[in-house]
Amino acid sequence: MISLAGRDILHGWGKFVLTGVGLGLLIGVTLSMAGVYRGMIDDAQALLDNSGADLWVVQKDTLGPYAEPSSLNEDTERPIRAMAGVDRAAGVTYLTMQIAHQGKDVRVMVVGAEFAQPGEPGQPPHLIAGRRIVQAHYEAVADVKTGFAIGDQVKVRRNTFRIVGLTSRMVSSGGDPMLFLSLKDAQEAQFEKDSDAIVRQRARTASSPVLNPPGNPAVLEAVNAAQAGSTNVNAVLVTVAAGSDPDAVAAAIRRWQRVTVYTRAQMEEILVDKMIANSARQIGMFLVILAIVSAAIVAFIIYTMTIGKIREIAVLKLIGTRNRTIAGMILQQALGLGLIGFAVGKIAASFWAPFFPKYVLLLPADSVRGFLAVMAICALASLLAIHAALKVDPAEAIGG
Amino acid sequence: MAEGIRIENLIKTYGSGDTAVHALRGVNMSVAKGEVVGLIGPSGSGKSTLLKCLGAVIEPTSGRMTIGDRVIYDDGWKVGDLRALRRDLIGFIFQAPYLIPFLDVTDNVALLPMLAGKSNAQARKEARKLLEALDVAHRAAAMPSQLSGGEQQRVAIARALVNRPPVILADEPTAPLDSVRALAVVDLLNTMARQFETAIIIVTHDEKIIPTFRRLYNIRDGVTVEEAPAGSPGPDDAGKS
């Protein structure tokens, strides 16, 4: 038996392909939305993977350092480092800010990490160009997505930093590329006050007889010095020793250090289930709406194509064509439209994904799921047309 | 001649009670194999209903219909598969050719044997043979839109004949044609009826072709009356117009 659907498609292939392309662009948008969601999850996981930590020690009862503000004294790391099962511990700071570069503002996450020893948690795990930070001040390593190049000078707050190394896939959970500074530089950038604020603070301190006791200027100097800098970090990243159980180490730190400690699984839950949850629901809603719109479009197209063939369908029924052959013809056309649409959508999504400002991750498994969903939607959408075709009275062919 | 189709006391009533419409009130007719008869009647006479019953599109309320030796309807019978009956026993020719626009000429004709379960190759072979007999084999690969009106009508006749049905129903096949072409189509149908031993019933209003019928059924108020067409040729001249 010849394929009636195939012949009909070939007969009006131009119209069919154009319709498929239109549907494909819609499917491309749908796949891209799924890719945006996957990209957000991947960014979150990259953030955790690239931090090199097994445990995140943060201010007690906070979801820091990524989901909530968290502040710890940098000295917190010392007793942790001495605890059983801890291999390394290092303080880190995170600050999202805009940096002017070559006339444009670049949104980055400034990360302060300890660079005295290679391999400390918080450092970028790999470089794609240049070298790591070796000086105590004014050197930076940037993610390639910032657009910075080796040797570029970038200004963070009042200080200028020279880019000495480039890394990749080092992004915040929001997809902002990272700029690594030494911990001291980052602390200064994060906690320093502007000149006016310092002047006002010093005047207020000097006016206080408690902080500026008469005849003892050394007290005022000491207070001003204490107020000038910050020794706080947002979190202490911990790697556990080989063979140690991260949960047990986390429990020990919680018990002794009056801090909150998250394991990798818990931090992933915070990032994915809490921070991304609303965005995921938003994207999910879009996916549902796009699926409904796609189904409506396919249903409308297939229904219109079928209604345009009522006389032919009546003739086919009159000469003895089975209902299932006619239903199969319509179903195959709907699936054909879905196939063309999916192919166009997949190509379109792959083509425009790199142009998105945030990472769009098109997973093969999502493509397979998308393909099956498109086929299912097309099959469902064809039901209306099949119903209309099966209701056609063969008598219509003989003028009755 | 052997009998092609016979109907006896065919009744078709739509609805029931006070609103019942008696479309056919006891129709009788018979057509022999190889014979072409005309069926005429004014609008509302029951012609369309009779055509639908003859074409196994609808079932009559009562009566008997046989095609060859096969009983199609009998009082109290419930016909199972009208579609299969139409496919295997009845060919249709319409006022317009109604060819499937997305199939070429060969496949338009071969579709029926394919639907009957024959292989594509066998079905196309039979289609081509018939197209040769109808002198349109040279357009076998053309699409219907590329054919002239006459060629389309010949392909439609080939489609009706391809499964060698014992009966062909032609619904106003000459309506859109001028006299010369209309008579040529009737001539062709007569030839085909004899060649394929098919009973052909032509439903028509066409005054040009009515005189060519050897036998003519006139249906009025749901009842058929057999009459001789005015100025019709004698029995020996049937089909030679």
| Whether A395 and B86 lie within 8 Å, measured CB to CB | no
User: Residue A39: which residues within 8 A CB-CB, separation 6 or more?
Assistant: A175, A356, A358, A359, A360, A361
Tokens of A345: 């959508």
Please give, rounded to a whole number of angstroms, the shortest distance from the CA of A392 to a CA of chain B.
12
Report pLDDT digits (tens) over B59-72.
Answer: 889 999 999 888 88
Phi/psi of residue B204, each to 5°? -155, 155
What average pLDDT does this structure show over A139-156?
A: 93
Residue B240, pLDDT above cutoff 50: no
Q: What is the pLDDT of residue B78?
A: 65
**For residues A44 and A35, what is the distance between their CA atoms, to the nearest angstrom?**
14
What average pLDDT does this structure show over A345-352?
A: 94
Please, what are the domains in chain B? 3-237 (3.40.50.300)
Q: What is the pLDDT of residue B238?
A: 40
Tokens of A367: 């493509």
Amino acid at A259: V
Q: What is the pLDDT of residue A295?
A: 83
Phi/psi of residue B117, each to 5°? 105, 5
Please give, rounded to a whole number of angstroms, the shortest distance from the CA of B43 to a CA of chain A.
12
**Backbone conformation region of residue B44, classed left if phi is above 0, alpha if psi is from -120 to 50, else beta:** left
Report pLDDT digits (tens) over A353-364.
Answer: 999 888 899 999
Q: What is the pLDDT of residue B76?
A: 63
Report pLDDT digits (tens) over A256-279.
Answer: 878 999 999 999 999 888 888 888
| Whether A319 and B112 lie within 8 Å, measured CB to CB | yes
Residue B234, pLDDT above cutoff 80: no
Report pLDDT digits (tens) over A277-295.
Answer: 888 888 888 888 988 888 8
Report pLDDT digits (tens) over B160-184.
Answer: 989 889 999 998 888 777 888 888 8
Q: What is the pLDDT of residue B241?
A: 33
Of B49, B57, B107, the CB nearest to A318: B57
Residues of B with CB under 8 A from a CB of A: 48-49, 51-52, 55, 57-58, 83-84, 86-88, 92, 94-95, 98, 100-103, 107, 110-112, 114-116, 120, 143, 159, 169, 171-172
| Whether A11 and B94 lie within 8 Å, measured CB to CB | no
DSSP B239: T
Please give, rounded to a whole number of angstroms, the shortest distance from the CA of B110 to a CA of chain A.
10
- Measured in whole angstroms, how far is the alpha carbon of residue A395 from the centre of its chain? 60
More reliable by pLDDT, B145 or A190: B145
Q: What is the pLDDT of residue A85?
A: 92
Q: What is the pLDDT of residue A250?
A: 93
Q: What is the pLDDT of residue A383?
A: 92
CB contact at 8 A, A327 and A321: no
Report pLDDT digits (tens) over A42-67.
Answer: 888 888 888 889 999 999 999 979 88
Q: What is the pLDDT of residue A174?
A: 80
Report pLDDT digits (tens) over A307-341.
Answer: 888 888 999 998 888 889 999 999 999 999 999 99
The neighbour count for residue A34, using CB atoms within 10 Å, is 24
What is the share, in percent, of chain B residues with pLDDT greater than 70? 92
| Whether B48 and A325 lie within 8 Å, measured CB to CB | no
Residue in the block written with tokens 């302060």: A112
**For residues A309 and A317, what is the distance between their CA atoms, to the nearest angstrom?**
12
Mean pLDDT of chain B: 86
CB contact at 8 A, B211 and B231: yes
DSSP string covering A225-262: HHHH---EESEEEEEEPTT--HHHHHHHHHHHHSSEEE
Q: Which residue of B has its CA nearest to A317?
A: B83
DSSP string covering B18-63: GG-EEEEEEEEEEEETT-EEEEE--TTSSHHHHHHHHTTSS--SEE
Q: Which residue of A has its CA nearest to B165?
A: A319
**For residues A318 and A327, what is the distance between their CA atoms, to the nearest angstrom?**
15
What average pLDDT does this structure show over B46-62?
A: 88
